[in-house]
Structure 1
Amino acid sequence: MNSTSSASGSAPPTTLRGALRRMLTLIALTTAVTTLLAVILGLLVDGTAGLWGALLGGAIGVFFCLTTVVTMLVSEGRSPQFLAIAVLGGWLAKMAVIIALLAVLANFTFYNRYVFVATMMVIVLASLVIEMQVVRGARIPVTQDVPKAQGPQGSAEGE
């Protein structure tokens, strides 16, 4: 894959919204495939307990990974303050939900904990790789043209 192609092989995104949508799509697909493989392996390793471990790990993994991308997608184009509040608030809410879920699940034995953790970790790590690859391959301009006539503080260079 060359530096101008993206993780999915199509043209690289040229807007932030396009990059976030690509992340969302690739993470959802990767999570579905990972969870399916984990279900099969979980069934082979520990029967029904392995199945439940894979399903729970997949559900929590997808929640963990997609909430940040969805928050960014909803916040895109709004003020920096809104973005900061949405990302920080979303992160705190996500951590509270995940800690509560893990605390509740710790009391149950119907699922295989190793399959659960392995599924969740593979999804989270795959999501990080996808996010990095999409951002790295995106062709989003990070500067804007500034008009030459800006007043006393913004005179053009060389004048």
Structure 2
Amino acid sequence: MFTSSAGPGTSDHQDAPLKAALRYGLIGLVVLTVLAVVVATLVAGVAGLWGALLGAAIGGGFILTTAAVVLLGAKLPPTTAGMVMLASWVGKLLVALIVIAVLQQFEFYDRVALFLTVVGALIIVLGAETYGVLRTKVPIVDLPDQASDSDSETP
């Protein structure tokens, strides 16, 4: 059976992939935001700037919140962690719908820039998080079965 190494700093090793996912996701979001702001501003002016900023906040916030909730819920019992994940997903969906409904009333942003940046944020941040998880190496120790050890000690 394979388990994580025991000893000091065990939780650091177990959390390393999730922390890397958050780190790479944030880096990807920052790079996307800068590029989207520059391109959208050149194409649509100030409205494009606002559309790109709003899109990065909505798309990036949606995905990065999931990674943060998984990191925080990693130490919870599985049932509780599942409930927290479900509640956070429903909450994020409601917040996103409310934000989009409120934004429909305003004209200060470019809708195309918003849409393209949200889609770009979803793709790039998810890709960056996946890269962070896959790139992280976590030490694994093969522990001998304790029942067989106690059997071998008895005469």
Would you call these one fold, judging by a TM-score over 0.5? yes
> SS in structure 2 opposite 1:149?
helix
Q: What does 1:90-101 align with in structure 2 at a 5 Å threshold?
A: 90-101=88-99
* 1:82 alignment partner, one of 80, 83, 101: 80
Q: What does 1:9-158 align with in structure 2 at a 5 Å threshold?
A: 15-140=13-138, 145=143, 147-149=145-147
What is the number of equivalent residue pairs in this alignment?
Answer: 139
> SS in structure 1 opposite 2:42?
helix
In structure 2, C-alpha distance between the alignment counterparts of 1:88 and 1:144, rounded to whole Å = 33
How big is the shift at 1:138? 3.8
How big is the shift at 1:146? 6.3
Q: Which amino acid aligns with 1:81?
A: T
Q: Which amino acid aligns with 2:77?
A: S
How big is the shift at 1:148? 4.4
Q: Which has the higher helix share?
A: 2
Structure 1: which 5+ runs fail to align? 1-13
In structure 2, C-alpha distance between the alignment counterparts of 1:92 and 1:39, rounded to whole Å = 29
How big is the shift at 1:63? 1.1
Structure 2: which 5+ runs fail to align? 1-11
Q: Which 4+ stretches in 1 moved above 6 angstroms?
A: 141-144
Q: Which amino acid aligns with 1:106?
A: Q
TM norm structure 2 = 0.79
- CA distance 1:25–1:97, shift in 2 (3 Å): same
TM norm structure 1 = 0.78
Give the % identical residues.
Answer: 33
* TM-superposition CA deviations, 1:111-144 (whole Å, max 9, x none): 0011111111111101221232233334447897
- CA distance 1:65–1:114, shift in 2 (3 Å): same
In structure 2, C-alpha distance between the alignment counterparts of 1:17 and 1:102, rounded to whole Å = 33
In structure 1, C-alpha distance between the alignment counterparts of 2:77 and 2:142, rounded to whole Å = 17
- CA distance 1:45–1:83, shift in 2 (3 Å): same
Q: Which amino acid aligns with 2:53?
A: L
Matched with 2:5 is none
* TM-superposition CA deviations, 1:85-128 (whole Å, max 9, x none): 11111000000000111111112111001111111111110122
In structure 1, C-alpha distance between the alignment counterparts of 2:24 and 2:56, rounded to whole Å = 15
